[in-house]
Structure 1
Amino acid sequence: MASAAKRVRREPGPGALAAFLEWCGDAGLVLSPKVCVSREGTVTDYGLIAREDLQAGEVLFTVPRNALLSQHTSSLSSLLEKEQASLESQSGWVPLLIALLHESTISNSYWGPYFSLWHDFSGLDHPMFWSEEERRRLLQGTGVSEAVDKDLANIQTEYSSVILPFLKAHPEIFNPKVHTLELYKKLVAFVMAYSFQEPLEEDAEDEPNPPVMVPVADLLNHVANHNANLEYSPECLKMVVVQPIRKGQEVFNTYGEMASWQLLHMYGFAEPYPGNRDDAADIQMLTLYKAALQVTKTDAEKQLVLDQWDLLCQMEMVGEEGAFVIGWEKVLTGEELSMALKVLGMSAEEFKEFKEQEDWADKMGENGNTDLTLSMIPTFKASWKKLLFDATLLTLQAYSSDLKAEEEMLSDQQAFSKLSCRERFALQVRYGQKKILHQLLELVSS
């Protein structure tokens, strides 16, 4: 199975795994005898290996809810609940992060054996830990750098405005020289890479559940074509086999249907092409707008595009920070793309008539298809295809290299073997996105 390292290798202390597994047993976590936690035979770090053949439906391990690390199970739970109002933040992660700040730095923490597997979190290698020069050089055009910039700004703001005042208010618990911004940044990456969020009930309109740390479940590596899945019940969480696993194979979980750039951004790795069936490429909504503007020849034509874009914004079909998400087989933002192409492709008379319709707001989704497959694109109007072609070309121009250069590097095994993990992951992200965009170019050219 073609699968890259989930994360760079970390080095826990001697006996850390044995101590952790003993702790798991004491905490009531039940591991099937048909599997074992191992560093041998895994794509990287720890993973779960089948000792025997496994069939769909078998339970690999069960984690009782009292073994989940959260703000509610931390030794600071009472304090965190008492000061809940002062810990509200945009991310919603602050209570858990404060719990982790405390539990990971005290010698007598109940969760000590759990944290011993991560060796001061030094193995985390998200792009947020790369230099600005590396991010610019390796990730230009992918969208990762922009996401990291937002993360770093939010981390700084959250630490200064919420975390630091809380730490200073409790000097008997926290030491500013220990509980630093740098440690907080590592813990944010730790939560990004290893935490789980219990899904809400279908049709629920509540805020998302806060993240929690799930021992053993967070050791499983990810591939899109996974063979196990985490299931939730009121009493416990269970990792269940979803497709047969042969003896000696690794058990893979899924982190969700994520594009390669999202995997690199949030988890610090990328699955090699063509393994990630959930990969996708973004065309920024503003890029489609620019593509429409660049072919205008008169002030009247330019004004028409401006008016059309304003209407699309009113319809909430587009936005300055939005993107059209193109997958291998379908457009994940099908309704938005269809409506944008429809409106931007209108003549002045068609647009005037459209606006004059009293029920235009009710017709927003008339031609918008939430299940827009790529096979439908060749049937688009010529004007729509031309606009999408131009936007795709503009998107490809944002990268620092072309598809041919990426293909040459991937085909040269000697050169590829000399790349660092960061360079390999970035290459896989760029290549996957460009393959999707070139496939789109072919479709709009037909």
Structure 2
Amino acid sequence: MDPLVSWFQSQGGLIDAASMGFTEIDGQGRAAVAKQDLPEGHTLFSIPRTLTLSTRTSSLPRLLGDVLWNKHELGKGWVGLILCMMWEEAQGPASKWSGYLATLPTVFNTPMFWCEEDTEELKGTAVIDKIGKEDTEKDYHGRLIPCLHSRPDLFLPEQLSSCYSLERYHIHGSRILSRSFHVEKLEGEGSDESAEVDRDDMMATDEAPQLIDPDDAGNGGDRSAEAEDSDEEDEEDVGDVAMVPMADMLNARYGSENAKLFYETRNLNMITTKPIKAGEQIWNTYGDPPNSDLLRRYGHVDVIPLPDGGEGNPADIVEIRADLIVDCVSTKPEDMSERIDWWLDQGGDDTFVLDTDPEFPQDCISFIRLLQLSPDEWKRAQKKEKLPKGKMDPAIASISFEVLTKRLAQYPTSIEEDEQLLSPERIGTLSLNKKHAVVVRLGEKRILRSTLDDMKILVQANQGSGKRKADNRDGRGSGKKSKR
């Protein structure tokens, strides 16, 4: 029997082994497949809530105590959960999750583990500033290491270099980033009564199941945000982030979801959301994120046929930083600091997003307008506490064109060069990391070029309109002769 399945069943998990099995798929690793035709609404497996691994279910936080837990800020970000996973792994067979942790990957293709040369291939993309390796290692040395030394009875000195090393910290962090789910605490959870799992109750309940909302999960598909997404961490209860055995075995691909995780009072159930034919892969969902997020979090990209031809990810986006826009609007960016602070206080973002719709974002137009307000207009906007409307005009179009042009210039290669790299003649010569980097940056560049093409038409039309007005004013092109 499969070691994971054997462990899962020994811990009270239920799996319909006649309906689902695992196999290795080239380029995707281990995957779940249907053994027979499955209808919509079929429960593939059921996981007791007590079998999820989080800061709520691990006994480490209780053993460590609230004083030390809070002193080392282990409830901030994913440091506490990483430490729990390290500690559970260090317990060996004494940990109820030992059989599960032994099945998790130790090698990742995410940029966190790339060499400097490979990382350079991501220059200009939305990935490069979000890897967060420096901040992650700062947390390790500043928060986790002091905690380890404070309790040598819990964290055995002879295990520090193996179970609690920086390498293991990165590995567990990447496991959380790529495989965790957002599982909200239910009222009364954690009591003795809720901890008792009735096996006869696991595949059926009188209560309607609730979907683990992809919008609440950082990876879009029922899974958690990465440790560096600090803004979201401050708002959510990090205890909701949990490793969910068996559920994390399902792969995901753009537009392919056919099963989702639902939660009930005592269990989490993986249920099919559409019919699945025998032999087909069972796909969960990541919420269809862009390739930049897929690569950063999971170490892969989606390349499928696009509606307008070619291949890529229909969900790709491009991020434009506010400081680039400020540089295009003002020769003295420092003079704009008050307006920028006010923009942020009013709920504006410091990054603007373009997607496959070539229309320029209205919030970006509003920001440009704010930077262009005269002193009197700026005072009136402050008094009304109202942001400028996101309405395009010739002046905005001209600045937008400059912004897009400079944003496209941030990539070290051209669209044509990247397309050549991914051609059938060249793609086989690329390393996996470089291929993924080229796919990500090419998808972003195509969005920029498409938006630029539309903006260029608008700018040229406005210039032509201005020229016709000028011609009319001096009599040229009006059908009248100018007077002498």
Q: How would you bin the TM-score normalised by the shorter chain?
A: 0.7 to 0.9
How big is the alpha-carbon RMSD for the aligned residues of Structure 1 and Structure 2? 3.0
SS at the partner of 2:41? coil
The structure-2 alpha-carbon separation of the partners of 1:321 and 1:353, relative to structure 1 and needing over 3 Å to count, comes to closer
Match of 2:223 in 1: none
The structure-2 alpha-carbon separation of the partners of 1:399 and 1:330, relative to structure 1 and needing over 3 Å to count, comes to closer
Greater Rg by CA: 2
* 8 A Cα contact 2:74 2:80, kept in partner: no
Match of 1:32 in 2: 16
SS at the partner of 2:282? strand
User: In the alignment, is residue 141 of structure 1 matched against residue 124 of structure 2?
Assistant: yes
Aligned AA (2:133): L
TM-score of the pair, normalised by structure 2: 0.74
User: In the alignment, is residue 285 of structure 1 matched against residue 322 of structure 2?
Assistant: yes
Structure 2, unaligned stretches of length 5 or more? Answer: 186-212, 217-231, 305-310, 458-484
1:168-187 to 2 correspondence within 5 Å? Answer: 168-174=149-155, 175-178=159-162, 179-187=164-172
Deviations 1:392-415 (A, max 9, x none): 11111111101111111222x132
Match of 1:190 in 2: 175
The structure-2 alpha-carbon separation of the partners of 1:97 and 1:402, relative to structure 1 and needing over 3 Å to count, comes to same
**420, 423, 429: which is aligned to 1:408?**
420
Q: CA deviation at 1:49?
A: 0.6
Aligned AA (1:24): F
SS at the partner of 1:438? helix
What percentage of residue pairs aligned between the two structures are identical? 26
Once residues 151 and 441 of structure 2 are traced to their aligned partners in structure 1, the CA distance between those partners, rounded to angstroms, is 46
SS at the partner of 1:133? helix
* 8 A Cα contact 1:224 1:275, kept in partner: no
SS at the partner of 1:117? coil
SS at the partner of 2:254? coil
SS at the partner of 1:85? helix
Match of 2:339 in 1: 311
Once residues 224 and 166 of structure 1 are traced to their aligned partners in structure 2, the CA distance between those partners, rounded to angstroms, is 41
The structure-2 alpha-carbon separation of the partners of 1:76 and 1:339, relative to structure 1 and needing over 3 Å to count, comes to same
Equivalent residue pairs, number: 399
Q: CA deviation at 1:384?
A: 1.6
Match of 1:230 in 2: 261
**29, 39, 49: which is aligned to 1:45?**
29
The structure-2 alpha-carbon separation of the partners of 1:92 and 1:234, relative to structure 1 and needing over 3 Å to count, comes to farther
Aligned AA (2:322): M
Q: CA deviation at 1:167?
A: 1.0
1:35-434 to 2 correspondence within 5 Å? Answer: 35-41=19-25, 43-82=27-66, 83-89=68-74, 91-108=76-93, 109-118=95-104, 121-136=105-120, 138-148=121-131, 151-174=132-155, 175-178=159-162, 179-198=164-183, 207-210=236-239, 211-225=241-255, 226-272=257-303, 274=311, 276-293=313-330, 302=331, 307=335, 310-316=338-344, 322-329=350-357, 334=361, 336-346=363-373, 348=374, 352-356=376-380, 359-361=383-385, 363-364=386-387, 367-368=389-390, 380-411=392-423, 413-434=424-445
TM-score of the pair, normalised by structure 1: 0.80
The structure-2 alpha-carbon separation of the partners of 1:38 and 1:129, relative to structure 1 and needing over 3 Å to count, comes to same
Q: CA deviation at 1:26?
A: 1.9
Once residues 101 and 114 of structure 1 are traced to their aligned partners in structure 2, the CA distance between those partners, rounded to angstroms, is 13
Aligned AA (2:380): E
The structure-2 alpha-carbon separation of the partners of 1:404 and 1:309, relative to structure 1 and needing over 3 Å to count, comes to farther
